[in-house]
A and B are shown apart, each in its own frame.
Chain A
Amino acid sequence: MTITVPFDPVSRSLRNNRRQQTLWGIALCTLFLLAVIFSTWVIGDGGLGPVLSQRNQPPSIAHPFGTDWLGRDMLSRSLHGMSLSLRIGLLAAGISALIGTGLGLAAGTLGGWVDAVITWIIDVFFSLPHLVLLILIAFAVGGGTRGVIIAVALTHWTSLARVIRAEVLQVNSADYVKISRRFGRLPLWIARHHMVPHIIPQLIVGLILLFPHAILHEAALSFIGIGLSPHIPAIGIILAESMRHLSTGYWWLGVMPGLLLLLSVKSFDWLGENMRALLDPKTSQG
């Protein structure tokens, strides 16, 4: 005897279109980040000048992030600082991504001793403590903005290179590439038509996820004084300066810029994860 009971149908019409949600997520994150970057041109330098009559005010409607010991509007300072940090981070990460892709492609396609050398370099970089390496390079190059960009660019390419190399190796050993060669196609044609479609998604996602690292490390370097000059209000500088005032109870000097940094970095993270979900055929059908 069997009991016939209808199966629970999962009602899809009520649930949100997942892909729509993903695209919304990407759009929102992108808008937020662009807003922060371009905020400097929108709000101008107005809030950056010292107004001694407004010193040390906690967050209020007039000054959502409060003011510092010189009466400068913290929101204005934070936005300027974040925008600068973002731009520097993007530049450094961009250079790093180029290095990573180039080396990854070379290692995968050329093989042999080229691959061995590049893999060895990657291993060396992975075995050294990351922050120490950053500091050393920034210091050696003479610090400042230039030092930060060079240091970050030279140290963040390793993960991406590894991923790209693995992807290239995998595609190279695929049956359809071997068949392509037997069809008479040249290596360059194969690289352009078979390999690139596989690498691009990895590259995009890898690049986006590289930015938070670059930005945070720039902030770290500036925080400890090796990076940008203290006169330029990068986020790291702002945080460093706020340390002096924490004990006096002016908590907003550190917390508010810190939250802005957190939110910006997290946006990149969300953006990257959403892009990955969209580009990976396994999850893009959900």
Chain B
Amino acid sequence: MLTISNLGIRFTQYDQGLHRKQLTVITDLDLTVQPGELVAVVGASGSGKSLLAHALLGILPENAQLSGTMAFQGEPLTQKRCEALRGKAIALIPQSVGYLDPLMTVGRQVQRVGQLNGLPSRAAKTLTARTFARYELPAHTPKRYPFQLSGGMARRVLVSTAVMTQAQLVIADEPTPGLHPDVVTETLNHLRELAQEGRGVILITHDIEAALQVADRVAVFYAGTTVEIANAQDFTTGNLRHPYTQALWRSLPQNDFVPVSGNQPSPDQLPVGCLYGDRCAWSTAECKQARPELRFVRQGWVRCIHAEG
């Protein structure tokens, strides 16, 4: 349903005074999402995950330059098409209630989403009530303002905004920032339900354990590029392909709790060769010469010349 190939996003920024520098925040990003599938996009902060969501919704800042291709349901996604589809066929579940209008009750805001999707106000209101009931929100919720919602209630209202749209593609951008494990599980289950209804769901997060609870496939981002696209079970069976994915898995407290040193390269100083090269234990001279292509290895995709089949 969604195919992204070789996506690149660059920004021009002012450095000192009039001097401008180029920031390459996304390079060679590849991702596909099928209907009924939940794909998790996992990466550290600064790896470009949120920018992907912004690109799909057409809300990148003005000084951004895009290259590569994005296709949704067979048609290319131009800026115009993004604007036409967002909120309708492509919906975003925002990160926090800070993204809602603080001066309007949540009932009205969610209802408005329905109206913007073509429903008459009566039908939108009923659908709002039904959606809130589906997520077991108390009866007084529609009259509440965003700041009056508790953490768990807020999460459920935010999911409702996407459910109201009948969108085919739902993007959840960091839906579980520092929340209690029970609320995290609940939110993730809601996303899983959306996938089971036949929609495509992209879950953007840094929390790999959360992602593995509900994802079908996991795309691992590093410094703005896809380094691996694995199936969820590959993590527990030890079938990981890219050294970064393996390092990430090892650094979990329930595993070895051992980190790998070094930092993600800065977007204005990307190395010529493999972006993970300077931190990688497998790095050879060949790695420094050119960026690897995405290869199909062991039923998954990996961007590394050393990954074995």
> Which chain A residues have a beta carbon within 8 Å of chain B's beta carbons?
1-10, 12, 17, 19-20, 23, 284-286
Residue pair B14, A7 in contact (C-beta under 8 Å) = no
Residue pair B74, A10 in contact (C-beta under 8 Å) = no
- A5-B69, A6-B69, A285-B13 provided; 5 other pairs, C-beta below 8 A? A2-B74, A3-B74, A3-B75, A10-B64, A23-B18
Q: With contacts A19-B14, A285-B13, A285-B14 known, is A9 near B67, CB below 8 A?
A: yes
Q: How many A-B residue pairs have CB under 8 A?
A: 50
Q: Least Cβ distance of A25 to chain B in Å?
A: 14
Residue pair A7, B71 in contact (C-beta under 8 Å) = no
Best-surrounded residue of A1, A7, A23, A285 (most CB of chain B within 10 A): A7
User: Is B70's CB within 8 Å of the partner chain A?
Assistant: yes
Q: Least Cβ distance of B240 to chain A in Å?
A: 28
Q: Least Cβ distance of A188 to chain B in Å?
A: 31
Contact with A along B56-83 (1 / 0, CB 8 A): 0000011111111111001110110000
Residue pair A5, B76 in contact (C-beta under 8 Å) = yes
Residue pair B5, A4 in contact (C-beta under 8 Å) = yes
Residue pair B13, A9 in contact (C-beta under 8 Å) = no
Residue pair A4, B14 in contact (C-beta under 8 Å) = no
User: Is B12's CB within 8 Å of the partner chain A?
Assistant: yes
Q: Which residue of A lies closest to B22 (CB)?
A: A12
Q: With contacts A1-B74, A9-B67 known, is A286 near B18, CB below 8 A?
A: no
Residue pair B67, A2 in contact (C-beta under 8 Å) = no
A9 partner, pick from B5, B66, B74, B76, beta carbons under 8 A: B66
Q: Least Cβ distance of A264 to chain B in Å?
A: 28
Residue pair A7, B20 in contact (C-beta under 8 Å) = no
Q: With contacts A2-B74, A3-B74, A4-B71 known, is A10 near B20, CB below 8 A?
A: no
Q: Least Cβ distance of A102 to chain B in Å?
A: 33
A2 to B78, CA, bound (A): 14
User: Is B3's CB within 8 Å of the partner chain A?
Assistant: yes
Residue pair B62, A286 in contact (C-beta under 8 Å) = yes
Residue pair A6, B67 in contact (C-beta under 8 Å) = yes
A19 to B18, CA, bound (A): 7
Q: With contacts A2-B71, A7-B78 known, is A17 near B18, CB below 8 A?
A: yes
A6 to B62, CA, bound (A): 19
Interface pairs (30), CB distance under 8 Å: A1-B74, A2-B69, A2-B71, A2-B74, A3-B76, A4-B5, A4-B71, A5-B69, A5-B76, A6-B68, A7-B68, A7-B69, A7-B76, A7-B78, A8-B78, A9-B66, A10-B64, A10-B66, A12-B12, A12-B63, A12-B65, A17-B18, A17-B20, A23-B18, A284-B14, A285-B13, A285-B14, A285-B63, A286-B62, A286-B63
